[in-house]
Amino acid sequence: MIQELFRKDIKDFRPYDAKGEKYKIKLDANESFIGLSKEIKNKIIRSLIELEFNNYPDPDATKLKKAYGDYIGIDEKNIMVGNGSDELIQILTNAFLDKNEKIVTLNPDFSMYEVYTKVRGGKVSVFDLDEDFKLNVNKIIEYINEEKPKMFIFSNPNNPTGGVIPKYDIIKIIENVNCIVVVDEAYMEFYGDSILDYIKKYDNLIVLRTASKAIGSAALRLGFLITNDTLLREIKKVKPPFNVNSVSQVIGEIILKDKDFIRESIDKVLYERNYLLKELKKIDGLKVYETKSNFVLIYNENANEINESLIKIGIKVRSFTDENLKNFIRITVGSREQNIEVINCIKGDNYDYKEM
C-alpha cells in the first residue's frame, strides 16, 4: 500500500486549517484593515509592466533588503528575506536542529514553531505562561538551562495574547542561557520596544519580522530575519536560492519606501485598537486582556456561543481548540464600522454571560 511509504513520525499531523469560507467581516488572521494608497498602487502597476517575468528573481532580494534596512535602521548585510516568516522559522530549524534535538517555546504562542520543529524531526519543550499570561524570567532561564535546547523561540508581542516581555527581561534571558534566542517581532510596530539594536552585541540573538501585519502586505508573503554575520552565514547554507518571487520583491520595496503611509496605517490601527479595547471592557462578564498588538484577546465561559453568534452574521474571529484556550477568542482590530458590528453582536442578548 502507498501508505507504507509515508513518514511514520508525522502520521498524526493534521494539515494547517486556514479555511477559505467567505465572511462579511474577517477578523481572525491579524491582517491589516487598511488597503494600499492609490499612489502606491500606481507605482506598483508601472513597476510590474517593466518586470522581466522570464527571469528568476534576485536570490538575495538585494533592493528589498536595502529598503527594509532603511525602514528599520539596520544594515542590510544583517538581513535575510524569506517567503513569509513561516519559511524563515522552517529555515532556522533546518539550520540548527539535528534529529531529536530540541527547542523551547512558550504556551500559548505561535503554533508553527512546534510544527516546523517536529517536521524536522526535532523535539519541543514547552514552558507555560502564568494564569495572566506573564512570563517568570528567572524560571524560564532555569527551565532552558535544564532542557538544554538549541533554540528558545517566542513571539513578542505574544500571539495570541498580545502581551509583551520587556526588553530588559529578554536581555537577561539572552545573557544567561546557552542557546540561540529567536525573538519573533511580527507585531513589534504596534509596541515599539524592539530588541533589534542588540543583534551585534549578542552572538546568540536572531530577530524575525514580517510585512504581513503593520505593513499591510500579507498577500506578498514577506518575512525578514535579522542577526549577526556569523549566524547569518550559517543560516544561508540552507536557504532556498530563489525563495522570494520577483513580484513580491518589487511591490515590497515600493511599499517600504513610503514610510509616511506605513506610519499613518499603524496610527489608524492603534486608534481603533484603543476603541475596541475600551468598548469591550464595558461588556459585563468579559475578561479583556491588555494588548500591544493589532488584536484583542477576550475570555468568557460562553466563548463558543459568542463565536457562533458572530459567524451567523458573517463575522470570522479566531477561536481555539486547545484546552487551555477553549474559552478565549482573539479579535483582529478592524475598521470602526467592523469593530462596531463585533461589539454590537457580543453585547446582544444571544447568551447569558457568567461572571468570572
Residue 288's beta-bridge partner residues?
298
* 253-291: b (≥16 Cβ within 10 Å) or e: bbbbbbeebbeebbebbbebbeebbebbeeeeebebbeb
Is the confidence at residue 356, as pLDDT, over 50?
Answer: no
The rounded distance, in Å, linking the Cα atoms of 81 and 236 is: 10
Kindly give, in sequence order, each residue whose CB lies less than 8 Å from that of residue 208, ignoring residues fewer than 6 positions away. 85, 88, 89, 182, 183, 184, 185, 186, 223, 224, 225, 226
> What is the pLDDT, as a whole number, of residue 351?
44
Residue ranges of the chain that CATH labels 3.40.640.10: 52-257
- Res. 349 pLDDT band, cuts 50 70 90: very low
Phi, psi of 103 (to 5 degrees): -115, 160
Per-residue pLDDT at 1: 81
Residue 303 has pLDDT above 50, yes or no: yes
Q: How confident is the prediction for the chain on average, in pLDDT? A: 95
pLDDT per residue as tens digits for the range 144-200: 999 999 999 999 999 999 999 999 999 999 999 999 999 999 999 999 999 999 999
What would the pLDDT profile of 266-287 be if each residue is shown by its tens digit? 999 999 999 999 999 999 999 9
pLDDT band (50, 70, 90) for residue 355: very low
Find out whether 151 and 180 touch, Cβ atoms under 8 Å: yes
Q: What is the pLDDT of residue 228?
A: 98
Pick the CATH number of 52-257 from 3.40.640.10, 1.10.10.10, 3.40.50.10860, 3.30.460.10: 3.40.640.10
Given CATH 3.90.1150.10, say whether it is the number of domain 12-35+260-347.
Answer: yes
Residue predicted with more confidence, 102 or 13: 102
**What single DSSP character describes residue 101?**
-
pLDDT score recorded for residue 235: 99
Which grid cell sits at 342? 463585533
Band the pLDDT of 323: cuts 50, 70, 90: confident
Band of pLDDT at residue 352, cut at 50, 70 and 90: very low
The residue assigned the cell 517567503 is 83
The answer to whether residue 82 scores a pLDDT higher than 50 is yes
Give the pLDDT confidence of 288-302 residue by residue, as tens digits: 999 999 999 999 999
pLDDT confidence tier of residue 19, bands split at 50, 70 and 90: low
pLDDT value at 16 more than 80 = no
Give the pLDDT mean for 305-326.
Answer: 94
Give CATH 3.90.1150.10 domain extents, the chain. Answer: 12-35+260-347
Residue bearing cell 537577561: 172
Instruction: Report percent pLDDT > 70 for the chain.
Output: 97
pLDDT of residue 14 exceeding 90: no
Quick: pLDDT tens for 32-51. Answer: 999 999 999 999 999 999 99
Q: Closest Cα to residue 214, out of 261, 248, 181, 170?
A: 261
